[in-house]
């Protein structure tokens, strides 16, 4: 019966590999120090109420689907819609744009031609970046940078960029022919190692893990608080169920979760932060169903606002 023992060993090894590659994504039981909500709040505590952001908007630029187990380890329910988005924090003193989404070519490549792309939404993002005094990205991956790395008028956005060194270093590979526009290449890097106030009610803080340049962005409106978490979680289920991405995805897609230990710690802290601050709105970049739920609750608005056209002066 030696062969039977041999088969048992092989099956056990395969089961262990399956668990390791597909099922395991557990966040630790405890973590602290990845985020500092108290610091974010105190940095904007003295901002005059009339200067605070008034609303948060999203442009759904592209869309594709993924099996649930590929987005959240151990989730075997249904297909997930991943949308590729850009966010706008509207404020009296000027807007903050977060993330540059995908262009059509990138969406087609990422989705192997199966995704959908909204040209009007992408053009709205390109235009909003020229007007917003603060243009940021949650991280430097391809589905967050295209409206910056491939902006048709780079000179019109260069002065608005608030990107870190790690984020700027990630842009050239996505630029046309691998050549970043000189205006963007010359942008001076920001440093968010410690929580940093960007504008009234808006704070950025480095949170490396999913990528070296990953940051979170906190925003406070009169009505509520938001935390943009980029791709720390692809779906809110990762925060709710304390499960990160499966390892096989990080082997398949280069650059995803180079510091997986930190990502899992961050998921634990986001989970706890949400439990302790039920009013805080977490905004993952891609969870289409969750983001659309926030829109129906009135917490998030679909489509960017555009400034009112200047009044025409009638010749006398």
Binding positions for Zn ion, rule: CB under 5 A? 143, 231
Q: Specify the DSSP class assigned to residue 231.
A: T
Question: Which CB sits closer to Zn ion, 44 or 228?
Answer: 228
Minimal distance in Å, beta carbon 64 to Zn ion? Answer: 11
Nearest to 157 by CA among 183, 175, 180, 176: 183
**Structure tokens of 144?**
């967050």
- Count Cβ atoms within 10 A of the Cβ of residue 94 and give its class: 0-12 exposed, 13-18 middle, 19 or more buried: middle
Rounded to a whole number of angstroms, the minimum distance from the CB of residue 11 to Zn ion is 36
CB–CB of 186/158 below 8 Å?
yes
Question: Quick one: 140 or 231, whose CB is closer to Zn ion?
Answer: 231
What does the alpha-carbon distance between residue 137 and residue 87 come to, in Å, rounded to a whole number?
Answer: 10
Q: Compare residues 110 and 242 and give the one whose CB is closer to Zn ion.
A: 110
Cβ proximity to Zn ion: between 90 and 285 the closer is 285
Contacts (Cβ under 8 Å, ≥6 apart) of 105 = none
Cα–Cα separations (whole angstroms), residue 183 to 127, 148, 157, 193:
17, 11, 9, 25
* Smallest gap from residue 102 Cβ to Zn ion (A): 9
Query: Cβ contacts of residue 18 below 8 Å, gap of 6+?
Result: none
**Cβ 231 to Zn ion shortest distance, Å:** 4
* Minimum CB distance to Zn ion, residue 111 (Å): 13
Quick one: 135 or 137, whose CB is closer to Zn ion? 137
43 or 216, CB closer to Zn ion? 216
CA-based angle 58:54:293, to the nearest 5? 40
Shortest reach from residue 188's CB to Zn ion, in Å: 25
């Amino acid at each position: 019966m030696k062969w039977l023992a041999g088969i048992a060993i092989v099956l056990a090894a395969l089961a262990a590999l399956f668990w390791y590659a597909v099922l395991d994504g557990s966040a630790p039981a405890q973590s602290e120090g990845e985020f500092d909500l108290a610091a974010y709040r105190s940095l904007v505590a003295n901002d005059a109420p009339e200067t605070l952001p008034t609303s948060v908007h999203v442009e759904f630029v592209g869309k594709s689907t993924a099996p649930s187990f590929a987005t959240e380890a151990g989730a075997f329910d249904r297909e997930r819609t991943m949308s590729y988005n850009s966010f706008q924090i509207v404020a009296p003193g000027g807007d903050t744009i977060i993330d540059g989404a995908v262009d059509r070519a990138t969406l087609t490549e990422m989705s192997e031609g199966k995704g959908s792309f909204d040209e009007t939404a992408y053009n709205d993002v390109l235009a909003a970046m020229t007007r917003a005094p603060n243009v940021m990205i949650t991280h430097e991956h391809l589905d967050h940078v295209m409206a910056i790395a491939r902006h048709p008028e780079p000179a019109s956005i260069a002065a608005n960029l608030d990107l870190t060194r790690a984020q700027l270093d990630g842009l050239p590979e996505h630029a046309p022919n691998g050549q970043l526009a000189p205006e963007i290449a010359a942008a001076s890097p920001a440093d968010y190692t410690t929580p940093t106030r960007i504008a009234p009610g808006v704070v950025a803080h480095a949170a490396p893990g999913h990528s070296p340049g990953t940051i979170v962005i906190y925003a406070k409106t009169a009505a509520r608080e938001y935390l943009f978490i980029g791709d720390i979680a692809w779906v809110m289920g990762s925060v709710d169920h304390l499960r990160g991405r499966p390892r096989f995805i990080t082997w398949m897609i280069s650059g995803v979760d180079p510091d997986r230990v930190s990502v899992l710690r961050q998921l634990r802290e986001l989970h706890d932060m949400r439990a302790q601050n039920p009013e805080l709105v977490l905004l993952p970049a891609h969870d289409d169903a969750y983001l659309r739920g926030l829109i129906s609750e009135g917490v998030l608005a679909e489509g960017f606002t555009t400034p009112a056209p200047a009044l025409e002066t009638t010749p006398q």
